[in-house]
A and B are shown apart, each in its own frame.
Chain A
Amino acid sequence: MTLGATLRRVRVRPRMRIRELVLLASVSMALVVGWASLASHVAGSLTLGRQFSHLVLYLGAVFAVHLAFVVAGRRTDQLLLPVIALLGGLSLLLMERLPQGLATQDMGGVELGLASLQLLWLGVAMLLVAAIAIGVRSDGWLRYYKYTWAAVGVGLLLLVFVLGEETNGARLSLRIGPLQGQPSELLKVILVVFLAGYLADNRTLLAQASTRFGPIKLPPVPYLLPMVAMWGIALAVVIFQRDLGAALLFFSIFLTLLYVATRRASYVVLGGLLFVGGSSVLYFVFGHVQDRVDIWIDPFVDPLDRGFQIIRALYAFGRGGIVGTGLGAGLPQVGESLAIPAVHTDFVFTALSEELGLLGGFVILGLYLVIAERGLRIAAAADDDFRALLAAGLTLVIVLQAAIIAGGNLRVFPLTGITLPFISYGGSSLLANAIVIGLLLALSDRGPERLAAPSAGRRRGFRAGMRAVGGRIEKVIS
């Protein structure tokens, strides 16, 4: 279904979004203050250079999305946009102060550095959020083609497996022309769509335990198989790609959604046991898993090699203290080398915790909790099981991913190389998370137009909307 066709079917009537506007204004102020701190530390004075124009462009994009929401007039959630605007803004400020050579790309003869590229992707992400949040009026294309989506997902993974490029020992990225992407980022969204569809259809059966397996009651095997297969394939391929973070994320999303659909704690217990068992096997079979666990338990056993990254991260946390060093006053570089390797992808939480302190770290964690609260609220208010499970699953994608990587930075969990949503550098990650937020916004629509599908009088209604005589009369007519 094309966007144009979708728009033609609905009546557009502008609706003010005061709450969103106020929050976005605060976010803008906070980011400008952040820029001032950054500029005064890095340049020594407040000069209106590249960093300021980047920030202005970014805020422009954010307010454009807000304006589009107002014009579109859907009664969607007003907190999600400010939250991701702040996260994305922090990301932009962080990328501004890191060495720009960490990522470069030639775009039509212009060499773009780290911050410029991140700004570009943030802009595309904002566009995607707006397009999906405004354009998606029906969930049928997700609901009815779940197996197709599953097939697409598996196909993507196989493609990476065959054609992918290796970075840091993990086969993650796929190159198409000049663009490079990490399909596992998109795969997690597809996984949620499939699981939501499958569980919504079969959850009654799954909840009824008819097969006994020792002390644990299981649903009828035929209903369980497709899901286990989906999970197994995803997990296996991810393990072969050595992407432990994604494996952990997929698995925890799977278990949580299964619990939401069936409310059977025994599944969670069984899954947890499977996970512990599987992890132990992986620990002994794969050297890289063993490394990750060993340096998690004590990074100081190998301070110059395997434990180097995590030790440097701990130093940065210690340096940040309670209030932090201030944006721009951290030490991402020592001499010519990075203080923490992969600081722009895997250790953004550490870098921001150093500069914004424990309090800033709490704010960032709090922002993800706001996403959790909004997402689960949208799920609870959903009309049917599919939409509820979809909203819950999408929320988990962001919230669990953030927890896994922040926990890895903090040595709460073993470190895995996944991104911190909306903050880490990377187009794939930003776009996938933009899809998630876009879909959540679309699902949150509480307006009466949501279900209305007027075919006659559409043109007249549209015109009436433009005249903005009043919503009540319009509702009565329709």
Chain B
Amino acid sequence: MSQRPGGAPSIASALLRVAIAIATLYVALGLGASYWQVVEAQRLTNDPSNPLSLAAARSAPRGRIFDVRGRVLARNVKQANGESIREYTYPVMAPVLGYKSLVFGASGLEKTYDAELAGIRQLTPGDEMLRKFRARPYDPQDLVLSIDLRLQGRATQALGGNRGAIVAIEPTTGRILALVSAPTFDANRLIDPVEGRAYLKSLSEQPASRSPLLNRATQGRFTPGSVFKIVTAIAGVGSGAIDAGTRYQEQPGEEESGFLIKGFRVRDGHHLFTGGEPLDFLQATEVSCNVWYARSGLRIGGPALLDWAGRLGFGQPIPFELPTAPSIVTRGEGPGGGFIDEVELANAAYGQGQTFATPLQMALVAATVANGGTLMRPKLVDELRGANGGVTPLGPSAMSQVLPRGSADLIRAAMVQAVEGEWGRGFAGGARIPGVTTAGKGGTAEVDDTNRPHSWFIGFAPAEAPRIAIAVLVQEGGFASERAVPIAGDLMEAYLKLPAE
């Protein structure tokens, strides 16, 4: 339309510009749609509060969970009303599997692998696009765990009615062989549509220290006592502050009087039979000498101890398939987030400062020594299996190289002596396995004056080619030698003797 008489501008050319503006607007909408449906699609689908997985749980089959030998640990069964509900075959698996409830959501591995079990997440992105063209849009994956049900059952039995936790690891791969927390809950009751709500209420009414819902193995933090000496040893040997020949001339004299630092007396006195000769590294570890380790802690220094503990996983949540609480060497109330003073440092060096560790963390310390100084990332799931036969292996990966092999071997020797040595037998001899060299360290962790100490043991076997590393904690179980040490020995022996099948 041309310029009209009277000077009014052309409408046609204005319309062209409007058309361009509209096209731009719609391109922006298309970009917006692309952002959500391509770029962010995966993240949105995996968002835990997405109701999609819950809906898929109702409508689609859910993958099963197997132990390492193919025993069914969890499967779906159809109810009378047509809805599918989870069934847990072995109560001992509760701390690992958690639960999948249509009401409360999920926990444990059921939560971590929710999307895979429901089949809404594919591991290959290309497959995702073609889902709608398949006869079955969901591809629920079965999980195959590294847990050996036989060891898991035996470990649960060993804890009996006590509170505590046991973690067993294959040191070379990080595969978890058993993970127990006691007391635990009955997953079948918890997901029961009728009874579940009342049961959960009764569980949550218990005090936190006794809660069956707390996974003590991964989220419970306990004073480690003497098992922490292995961390101090790693820091000392690794940093060069101590070696095999490290001795303290004052040590024998301080066995009776105590080692006085700034008005605080580090007490020992449980190995007066070692006499007047100063102990070296192996001997000090064998008899669990507090004075020797307190002095070594001061020699290593706060920053180095924190640094080396950090390489073992302290200070942050351990990357794992279950939620983990960070273990700590100190509360960090001192300058620069370190120890308050030398007293705290000295106490921390033998595990009695403001030091708190999870059984999983302590098991990783043992596994690191067992594996020649390399810390493997702990893992529970060996592989995913699709309904159509597709298998996705989840292989091992190293978390960090903590020590060179030579240094690790020195600490291994100390741990062997702590179990097998003439002196050591009196403390941790209960962990010995006939015909197999065993390495380990017991710990009797003082909590306060009123309660009995925690009974700890960490170790591995066979010492020369370890197949299992273990951490055992019996809360308020008394002396290490009474509870944790024999349990660990029995479990390691049982595992080594299990038929491979």
Chain A residues near B47: list those with CB within 8 A. Answer: 315
Interface size on A, residues (CB 8 A): 57
B51 touches A318 (CB 8 A): no
Query: What is the minimal beta-carbon distance from A443 to any residue of chain B, in angstroms?
Result: 14
Of A53-61, A144-152, A368-376, A428-436, which binds chain B?
A368-376
A-B contact pairs, 8 of them (CB 8 A): A256-B21, A259-B14, A315-B51, A329-B132, A362-B33, A392-B15, A396-B18, A411-B36
Known: A315-B47, A318-B37. A412 touches B32 (CB 8 A): yes
Contact with A along B48-80 (1 / 0, CB 8 A): 011110110010000000000000000000000
Chain B interface residues (CB < 8 Å from chain A) = 1, 4, 6-15, 17-19, 21-23, 25-26, 28-30, 32-34, 36-38, 40-45, 47, 49-52, 54-55, 58, 128-132, 137
In the complex the two chains form, what is the Cα distance from A410 to B13 in whole Å? 31
**CB of A323 within 8 Å of the partner chain:** yes
**Which residues in chain A, 74-115, are within 8 Å of chain B measured between CB atoms?**
none
For the A-B complex, the count of residue pairs with Cβ-Cβ distances under 8 Å equals: 151
A323 touches B44 (CB 8 A): no
Contact with B along A241-268 (1 / 0, CB 8 A): 0000000000000001001111100000
Determine the residue in chain A with the shortest Cβ distance to B102.
A335
In the complex the two chains form, what is the Cα distance from A174 to B13 in whole Å? 41
Query: What is the minimal beta-carbon distance from A250 to any residue of chain B, in angstroms?
Result: 17
A260 touches B15 (CB 8 A): yes
A335 touches B11 (CB 8 A): no
In the complex the two chains form, what is the Cα distance from A380 to B54 in whole Å? 53
Chain B residues near A190: list those with CB within 8 A. Answer: none
B18 touches A376 (CB 8 A): yes
In the complex the two chains form, what is the Cα distance from A473 to B137 in whole Å? 63
Query: What is the minimal beta-carbon distance from A17 to any residue of chain B, in angstroms?
Result: 25
Contact with B along A177-212 (1 / 0, CB 8 A): 000000000000000000000000001100110000
Chain B residues near A361: list those with CB within 8 A. Answer: 30, 33, 37
**Which residues in chain A, 332-377, are within 8 Å of chain B measured between CB atoms?**
333-335, 339, 353, 357-358, 361-362, 365, 368-369, 372-373, 376
In the complex the two chains form, what is the Cα distance from A379 to B22 in whole Å? 15
Scoring B17, B32, B36 by chain A CB atoms within 10 A of each residue's CB, the highest score goes to: B36
CB-contact partner of B29 in A256, A321, A379, A406, under 8 A: A406
Contacts A263-B13, A323-B130, A412-B29 aside, 18 further interface pairs with beta carbons under 8 A come to A204-B4, A204-B7, A256-B18, A259-B14, A261-B11, A263-B14, A315-B47, A318-B41, A318-B42, A318-B43, A321-B129, A325-B132, A331-B51, A339-B51, A353-B33, A365-B26, A373-B19, A396-B18
Chain B residues near A320: list those with CB within 8 A. Answer: 37, 41
Query: What is the minimal beta-carbon distance from B49 to any residue of chain A, in angstroms?
Result: 7
B11 touches A319 (CB 8 A): no
B137 touches A322 (CB 8 A): no
B129 touches A318 (CB 8 A): no
Chain A residues near B23: list those with CB within 8 A. Answer: 369, 372
B37 touches A315 (CB 8 A): no
Q: What are the nearest 5 A-B pairs in CB distance?
A: A318-B44, A410-B32, A317-B36, A263-B9, A358-B37
**CB of A165 within 8 Å of the partner chain:** no
In the complex the two chains form, what is the Cα distance from A470 to B21 in whole Å? 44
Determine the residue in chain A with the shortest Cβ distance to B131.
A325
A388 touches B11 (CB 8 A): yes
Determine the residue in chain B with the shortest Cβ distance to A262.
B9
CB-contact partner of B8 in A207, A325, A335, A412, under 8 A: A207
**CB of A73 within 8 Å of the partner chain:** no
Q: Is chain B's binding surface mostly helix, strand, loop or mixed?
A: helix
Known: A263-B13, A318-B43. A380 touches B8 (CB 8 A): no
Chain A residues near B49: list those with CB within 8 A. Answer: 303, 311
B1 touches A380 (CB 8 A): yes
Determine the residue in chain A with the shortest Cβ distance to B44.
A318
**CB of A14 within 8 Å of the partner chain:** no
Chain B residues near A315: list those with CB within 8 A. Answer: 44-45, 47, 50-52
In the complex the two chains form, what is the Cα distance from A67 to B65 in whole Å? 62
Scoring A261, A318, A321 by chain B CB atoms within 10 A of each residue's CB, the highest score goes to: A318
Query: What is the minimal beta-carbon distance from B46 to any residue of chain A, in angstroms?
Result: 9
B55 touches A335 (CB 8 A): yes
Query: What is the minimal beta-carbon distance from A347 to any residue of chain B, in angstroms?
Result: 13
B15 touches A321 (CB 8 A): no
In the complex the two chains form, what is the Cα distance from A241 to B52 in whole Å? 35
In the complex the two chains form, what is the Cα distance from A257 to B130 in whole Å? 45
Chain A residues near B38: list those with CB within 8 A. Answer: 321-322, 358
Determine the residue in chain A with the shortest Cβ distance to B19.
A376
Chain B residues near A339: list those with CB within 8 A. Answer: 51, 55
In the complex the two chains form, what is the Cα distance from A315 to B4 in whole Å? 53
B132 touches A326 (CB 8 A): yes
B51 touches A399 (CB 8 A): no
In the complex the two chains form, what is the Cα distance from A318 to B26 in whole Å? 20
Determine the residue in chain B with the shortest Cβ distance to A406.
B29
Chain B residues near A372: list those with CB within 8 A. Answer: 19, 22-23
B137 touches A207 (CB 8 A): no
In the complex the two chains form, what is the Cα distance from A331 to B45 in whole Å? 13
B11 touches A329 (CB 8 A): no
Chain B residues near A379: list those with CB within 8 A. Answer: 11, 15
A321 touches B12 (CB 8 A): no
Known: A312-B51, A315-B51, A369-B26. A323 touches B7 (CB 8 A): no
In the complex the two chains form, what is the Cα distance from A76 to B15 in whole Å? 20
Chain B residues near A368: list those with CB within 8 A. Answer: 26
A318 touches B33 (CB 8 A): no
A319 touches B15 (CB 8 A): no
In the complex the two chains form, what is the Cα distance from A317 to B40 in whole Å? 9
Chain A residues near B44: list those with CB within 8 A. Answer: 314-315, 317-319
A385 touches B11 (CB 8 A): yes
Chain B residues near A260: list those with CB within 8 A. Answer: 11, 14-15, 18
